[in-house]
Structure 1
Amino acid sequence: MACRLPSAAAAVLAAVALLSHLATAAKLPASFKRCKAGDPQLGGCMKEAIKVALGELAKGAPSLGVLPIDPLAISALSIGRGSGPVDVSLDFKDLTIHGLSSAVIETASFDTKTLSLDMQTRFPGPVSLLGQYRIDGKVLVLPITGEGRCNLTFADLTTTAKIRAEKVVKDGQTYGRVLSFGFSLQPQRLHMDFENLFNGDKALGDNMNKFLNENWQEILKELQPAVEEAFGATFKEIVNRIYQRVPYKDLLLE
């Protein structure tokens, strides 16, 4: 199975409902934590700063061009048919992702020369993707079809992010710009509930949902690349919204 998004940029375009007006110069809100570039405990400071930022962004930061991220809105996500054991065409739309504000930053390291940030995050609470779906194909030789509401909930989720950036000069000020936002997720469990499978046949639908949940690891292998790409592209856009508004010297003190 292959992700049908032409690139990560497509996920960003699908997530425009999350973001507000065009970039304008802004100050980092006083509620955000700032770190010093020369701090020997920079990693620890970054952990705390990211924790605070996530809490603030969960509520939204209009001055930075970011609406609330819990729930986080992704308008569309598509997964195309392949030749593996999970051979389905699966389209999501109007997704809302709940639970991101429960994030606990486990590790964070930042390189001030290359502007590289690596971090691991744990979510003690569930992270759920709610929205509309349409599916057609087969799962481990069993046919599947349907469209309606869906709920995909990750339990005991950990994530890894690798962010690479650069400095750019604009109007005499130095700003940051994210070049790439690698993102991976590792849940201990994935629970799925697809309503209205097989045109509303309850018996068939209940049995298929049970089958999907019994084989969640195989399903996740196929869903994971597209979900990770959508998350990474959306988070990249959120961070760039902040970077293009707030001068670098105000984000990381010299």
Structure 2
Amino acid sequence: MSSTYTFILSLLLFVGFSSSKKIPPYLTLCSRHDPNLNECVKNAVEQLRPHLALGVPELLLPPMDPLVLPEAGLSSGDNFKASFKNIQIYYANEFRIDNLNVNLDKYHIDLELSFPRLRILSQYNIDGRILVLQLHGHGPADGNFTDVSANAAFEGELKSKKGKEYITIKSVKVDLKIGKPFFQFENIFNGNEELNVQTNKIINENVVDIIDELRPVIDKTVTDFAIGIVSRVFNRFSFDELFPK
């Protein structure tokens, strides 16, 4: 499928966050030589969990309930274009770590997460055709998702900066699975309530096929966001600071 991608993260700089480069005192660091490194890192993430809803300024991690994104765009050739603004993602901090493997010799991390539920609110603008649906409208959108899983593989390398070594993320591969999605778009046909109800019904009856049609763009959106979040931590603290000897 020919697709183009637009995703704006510029406002995720979180102006006003602390500039202090100190690892939070409640976070236990893991020695790179710890024989139980995977379990140690997993426990460290669990130590962060109570703080994730409001964000962790020291790590440049944004608030996660809701997690706010300024804008995202989806397009499929010239036939379909959609933009979403003021995106608010709820319950992202309720993730479970199903599997974690950290290989510091190769700077590789395999991570499997699951989300029992997610809710995404936004303001949408859609114009074009997806599958058999011709859509045109703008207004509030409400997406509810259950049984979401994300498998991610992070590939990194060490780079020197000002006499210290930092892990740099080279690439991320993400496999996203959505168990039960449900969407509600208001004002799809600019005020025609009967058409709006019928179109939402058709969208949810065909939602799996619609997601598959847009999967390359969705996966790239999630991948780029994951790179941005993880890179914030690795760019802020050196390898020795994050994984002391």
- The TM-score, its normalising length taken from structure 1, stands at 0.86
Higher relative contact order (CA 8 A, sep 6+): 1
Deviation digits for residues 219-242 of structure 1, max 9, x if unmatched? 111233222222221221222222
- In the TM superposition, 1:209-248 aligns within 5 A as 209-248=200-239
d(CA) in 1 for partners of 2:157 and 2:207?
A: 39
d(CA) in 2 for partners of 1:72 and 1:229?
A: 18
Deviation digits for residues 19-58 of structure 1, max 9, x if unmatched? 2359967121122232222222222222222333454343
Corresponding residue for residue 31 of structure 2: 36
Aligned pairs, how many?
Answer: 244
Report the more deviating stretch, 63-72 or 235-244. 63-72
User: Residues 81 and 245 (structure 1 numbering): CA distance in 2 closer, same or farther, change over 3 Å?
Assistant: closer
Asked if the contact 1:23/1:244 (under 8 Å) is kept, the reply is no
- In the TM superposition, 1:2-81 aligns within 5 A as 2-5=2-5, 11=7, 14-20=8-14, 26-81=21-76
User: Residues 57 and 174 (structure 1 numbering): CA distance in 2 closer, same or farther, change over 3 Å?
Assistant: farther
Report the more deviating stretch, 198-207 or 55-64. 55-64
Which of 100, 113, 117 does residue 108 from structure 1 map onto?
Answer: 100
Asked if the contact 1:2/1:79 (under 8 Å) is kept, the reply is no
d(CA) in 1 for partners of 2:28 and 2:13?
A: 22
Asked if the contact 1:25/1:245 (under 8 Å) is kept, the reply is no
The one-letter amino acid of 1:74's match is: L
d(CA) in 2 for partners of 1:154 and 1:224?
A: 16
- The TM-score, its normalising length taken from structure 2, stands at 0.89
Q: Which runs of 5+ in 1 are unaligned?
A: none
The one-letter amino acid of 1:131's match is: S
d(CA) in 1 for partners of 2:10 and 2:167?
A: 21
- In the TM superposition, 1:123-162 aligns within 5 A as 123-124=115-116, 126-162=117-153
- In the TM superposition, 1:173-192 aligns within 5 A as 173-192=164-183
Q: Which runs of 5+ in 2 are unaligned?
A: none
Identity of aligned residues (%): 29
